[in-house]
Amino acid sequence: RHLSDGAHGNQISKSTLLLAINRLQQEFGTCDYFPSYEIMMDDLRDYRFYDTDMTHPSKSAIAYITEILEEAYLSPESKEIASQWYKIQRALEHRPLMPDKDEYTIFLQHTLDKVMRFQQMYPYINVSNEITELNTRISQI
């Protein structure tokens, strides 16, 4: 929900979006609407699916909606690619509390190797920013 406009403003905004999508579908037939908002409001209406601010979805709600999205839109190959990238992304986000230079350097080098293999397997996916970031982090140790 976009509550800064109030509940009524949020509904008007959502209605406008739905009408626009309906018009685009009628005119072009190539666009689609994924009902994440409706899933949140209807399937996950219990407050345990909301974060502590009671406005945003919790991690479990996000995982549930993401799973439905993946089933609706991703091919088996795309799911595999996403799964592989998720593991790499988690490694990229890792920041050690007390980095041992040798251990951390080895970890970063292994991560860089994974990114390079990923790039070889899927050359149409741009991972140059991640390679640059890893090289920079390795050189700063």
The per-residue pLDDT string of the chain (141 residues; one tens digit each, 9 = 90 and over) reads: 667 888 899 899 999 999 999 999 999 988 889 999 999 999 998 999 999 998 899 999 999 999 999 999 999 999 999 999 999 999 999 988 777 778 899 999 999 999 999 999 999 999 999 999 999 999 987
**pLDDT score, position 116:** 98
**pLDDT score, position 133:** 96
Per-domain boundaries in the chain: 1-31, 34-73, 76-139
**pLDDT score, position 1:** 66
Three-class secondary structure assignment of the chain: CCHHHHHHHHHHHHHHHHHHHHHHHHHCCCCCCCCHHHHHHHHCCCHHHECCCCCCECHHHHHHHHHHHHHHHCCHHHHHHHHHHHHHHHHHHCCCCCCCHHHHHHHHHHHHHHHHHHHHHCCCCCCHHHHHHHHHHHHCC
**pLDDT score, position 44:** 95
